[in-house]
Structure 1
Amino acid sequence: MSGSLRISRRMIMPDLVRVHRYQSLPEQGPKVLFFSGGSALNKISRVFKEYTHHSIHLVTPFDSGGSSARLRAEFDIPAVGDLRSRLMALADETVMGQPEVYALFTHRLSQHETSVELKAQLQQLVSGEHPLIEIIPNPMRALIQSHLAVTQQRINDDFDLHGASIGNLIIAGGYLNNQQHLDPIVFLFSRLVKTLGDVKTTLDASLHLGVELDNGETVLGQHNITGKETAVLSSPIKRMWLNKGLRRIQLTNQHIADDRKDAIESADLICYPPGSFYSSLLANLMPEGVGRAICNNSNPKVYLPNLGIDPEQQGLSLMERVHRLVAAVEIDKGGSEIYSALDYLLLDESYDYGEVDLEQLERLKVQVIKTPLITTKLNKYDERLVTKALLSLT
């Protein structure tokens, strides 16, 4: 008769012996899974790959701002900007990697040149005559050119190329070239830049975010929620959903693919990391099957809260964020799951996060871990300290 067995061990924080072992053999490092959205985790990811090549990054495809918005409007494509930036953060930057491909993927067209000049540069890239693509060997170069050519052919004449990410344009072409499936092109370019980890969107679908505010108002679109590209919301967020399009309220959802489910259920540690609380973190927990998979995993789950001001979490204390995080996971439970949504609240030992109610946390069976995570006066997490703390939990 088979069954599951949960084993406890004495925790040391940070566990420098364990961390050193991972750094010595990152190829055999643990599977730490991050439900991450934007760029908040990129610096941590760059350090993390020194300790394990098996981290898993499920990023939200629901963004609707920045240069990704233009591609989404043009092709009804999932947001690819955060996906590309995480691929680049995890790319092998040693001599064993592909620095030429990395340079191309991270290049942006100028904000200041004319549309005619930008179209000419795109044509140079498609034809293989641009300095950034000339140095990439075949067959890689031809493959990249073919995907860029698809994007070039499909965009309208008035498409705004100012500040466009070449990596986003390449991924968009690959998406259009693969029957509008994102996973094959992400897998391909993960191999091209030798990504030291696994990066995927939570859903391979073109959906958007919608929220209802405490004052009854509804807002559609991630770019209207974050308080970064538009004014801060007039009232705190009451609830959020996945929506079809940006024109009217059309609640929808989809089930995660089996490979995402398996990745969540088999992770050695699940981290809810810093980032925009709703549009980056909770958005990743909304697809059907995510919460169920989390609660089918017996390994630790840890929440590392934001520092500073996040416009999305106005009116939310740390304890309220913990409750909403747990609720977002547990709403998807089907009844047979036996493990927790959250085990640890990881905090810097000196930073003031507001009230930490130990009685509430005990009722939720959440333990507080306090350890040095900040080393500067900028009130920002130190990437190496965070990495060591998280790895000590595996």
Structure 2
Amino acid sequence: MVATSITRSAEIPDRLRIERCRSLPNLGPRLLFFSGGSALNGISRALKSYTFNSAHLITPFDSGGSSQVLRQAFDMPAVGDLRSRLMALADETTLGQPDIYRLFHHRLPADVPPAELAEEFASLLQGAHPYIRAIAQPMRGLILSNLRAFARNKPGDFDLAHASIGNLIIAGGYMLNDHALEPVLFLMSKMVEVRGTVRAVVDANLHVGADLSDGRRVIGQRQLTGKEEPPIDSPIARLFLSDGTRELPPGDVRLPKRNRKLIEQADLICYPPGSLYTSVIANLLPAGAGNAVALREVPKVYVPSLGHDPECPGMRLTDQVDALLSALRRDAGNDCPAERLITMVLTDAAALDAGAAVEIAERHGVPCIPVDLCAPDAADVYDPERLCDALVSLS
């Protein structure tokens, strides 16, 4: 049976459920997000008022900015998006939290003489920097231990210009924990009392690659996002994981059991706004991800970006749903019904293309649910509280 193309739900927002979650966020729903980049950080900050139990599987495949410098120096996964999500979910009421937040977001200057750059970095290592001194023990000692581990292991020609201190601290923890991300992410979550769970979808130093519709192949996230390189001018036909030079067979990279368990326990699964391919679909590439989603019988909500996505040239909402389903079915099987992978498309009422909604319903049986979700002063941005209201209502 074909679902109604546009479904208006009287239960969104469900004010009773919203107020219950706000009064007891420690008992809030387990919302799981396949995410990356910064698009969800504002929403994550708002989400802390509703639940302390959200889970965020983050792509560690960023190949641009300061994350790329660390990847090249230490053969490690990208950590910038993980750091920013940890900070977005940190408990802002904890004593000393603003000081930690300030340190983790601090970047070394990019336009000063090398001697001045080295001097500031040395003051951090010595614990003399005001941002370090402001942090109480024992947390200060833990941070310094990680930062000094980074300093001991960094190459002599490592470029500290514009380096994120938070990224350097995570990199040092990575060295101290036998080149594993999970222990340092766990420790940092405890440091800043993260209201949720933040994990890399896989703990591996890999890249995303894409076959474009015009036959070209590109490897590296920075080649696709349109931020550091010119935007692509041909739609992405297929995304894959790579070691940096070649495509890896699908079974070579598997979703860790601990992350599969997060999916198995989720009350709602969300494919959130952000770069469709490098922030969302990239998380679905490890073997086991699509099947885990298909087996979990909970709402599975696609929230498309409202603004322009440079990764989707010429793509309508219908094409984006097709791309998401195609990625999930690579693991779940081509015969997996669409409703086991996406149960609804949730978007702002004013932004919804009625023709696309009809096409999605006819092709996949997936309804589109229009709700007033955009920010009052920006038609291309979701209002964090309105979107959280909707997701909590559906969970």
Shorter-chain TM-score bucket reads over 0.9
Q: Contact conserved, 1:11 with 1:393, CA < 8 A, in 2?
A: no
Equivalent residue, structure 2, for 1:165? 164
How far apart, CA to CA, are the structure 2 residues paired with 1:106 and 1:150?
A: 19
1:126 CA displacement: 1.3
Q: Contact conserved, 2:210 with 2:219, CA < 8 A, in 1?
A: yes
364-373 vs 12-21, which moves further: 364-373
Equivalent residue, structure 2, for 1:322? 321
1:375 CA displacement: 3.3
How far apart, CA to CA, are the structure 2 residues paired with 1:354 and 1:172?
A: 47
Q: Relative to structure 1, is the Cα distance of residues 336 and 364 closer, same or farther in structure 2, using a 3 angstrom cutoff? A: closer
Matched, 1:45 2:44: yes
Equivalent residue, structure 1, for 2:351? 351
312-321 vs 368-377, which moves further: 368-377
1:230 CA displacement: 0.4
Question: How is 1:78-227 mapped onto 2 (pairs within 5 angstroms)?
Answer: 78-96=77-95, 98-227=97-226
1:113 CA displacement: 1.9
Q: Deviations over 1:11-55 (max 9, x none)?
A: 611111110110000000000001011000000000001110000
Q: Deviations over 1:296-322 (max 9, x none)?
A: 100100000011211101122101111
Q: Deviations over 1:134-174 (max 9, x none)?
A: 12222221221111111112222322212111000000010
258-267 vs 157-166, which moves further: 157-166
1:237 CA displacement: 1.2
Letter in 1 for 2:248: L
Equivalent residue, structure 2, for 1:5? none
Equivalent residue, structure 2, for 1:4? none
Pick 1 or 2: higher relative contact order, CA cutoff 8 A, min separation 6: 2
Q: Contact conserved, 1:74 with 1:155, CA < 8 A, in 2?
A: yes
- 2:340 is paired with a residue of what secondary structure? coil
Q: Relative to structure 1, is the Cα distance of residues 68 and 347 closer, same or farther in structure 2, using a 3 angstrom cutoff? A: same
How far apart, CA to CA, are the structure 2 residues paired with 1:47 and 1:203?
A: 26
Point out where structure 1 has 5 or more consecutive residues left out of the alignment.
1-9
2:248 to 247, 251, 254: 251
How far apart, CA to CA, are the structure 2 residues paired with 1:97 and 1:291?
A: 40
Letter in 1 for 2:169: I
How far apart, CA to CA, are the structure 1 residues paired with 2:55 and 2:150?
A: 29
How far apart, CA to CA, are the structure 2 residues paired with 1:12 and 1:150?
A: 51
Q: Percent identity?
A: 47
Question: How is 1:31-42 mapped onto 2 (pairs within 5 angstroms)?
Answer: 31-42=30-41
Equivalent residue, structure 1, for 2:281? 282
How far apart, CA to CA, are the structure 2 residues paired with 1:216 and 1:192?
A: 47
Q: Contact conserved, 1:91 with 1:97, CA < 8 A, in 2?
A: no
Q: Relative to structure 1, is the Cα distance of residues 158 and 334 closer, same or farther in structure 2, using a 3 angstrom cutoff? A: same
1:362 CA displacement: 4.7
1:356 CA displacement: 1.9
Equivalent residue, structure 1, for 2:6? none
Question: How is 1:303-322 mapped onto 2 (pairs within 5 angstroms)?
Answer: 303-322=302-321
Q: Relative to structure 1, is the Cα distance of residues 269 and 292 closer, same or farther in structure 2, using a 3 angstrom cutoff? A: same
Letter in 2 for 1:259: R
Equivalent residue, structure 1, for 2:340? 340
Letter in 2 for 1:23: R
Letter in 1 for 2:383: D
Letter in 2 for 1:166: I
Matched, 1:389 2:386: no
The ranges of structure 1 where at least 4 consecutive aligned residues each deviate by more than 4 angstroms after the TM superposition are 334-339
Point out where structure 2 has 5 or more consecutive residues left out of the alignment.
1-8
- 1:121 is paired with a residue of what secondary structure? helix
How far apart, CA to CA, are the structure 2 residues paired with 1:282 and 1:78?
A: 17
Count of residue pairs the alignment pairs up:
383
Q: Contact conserved, 2:357 with 2:367, CA < 8 A, in 1?
A: no
Q: Relative to structure 1, is the Cα distance of residues 147 and 41 closer, same or farther in structure 2, using a 3 angstrom cutoff? A: same
Q: Relative to structure 1, is the Cα distance of residues 353 and 173 closer, same or farther in structure 2, using a 3 angstrom cutoff? A: farther
Equivalent residue, structure 1, for 2:66? 67
Q: Contact conserved, 2:96 with 2:136, CA < 8 A, in 1?
A: no
Q: Relative to structure 1, is the Cα distance of residues 64 and 136 closer, same or farther in structure 2, using a 3 angstrom cutoff? A: same
TM, length-normalised to structure 2 = 0.93
Equivalent residue, structure 1, for 2:3? none
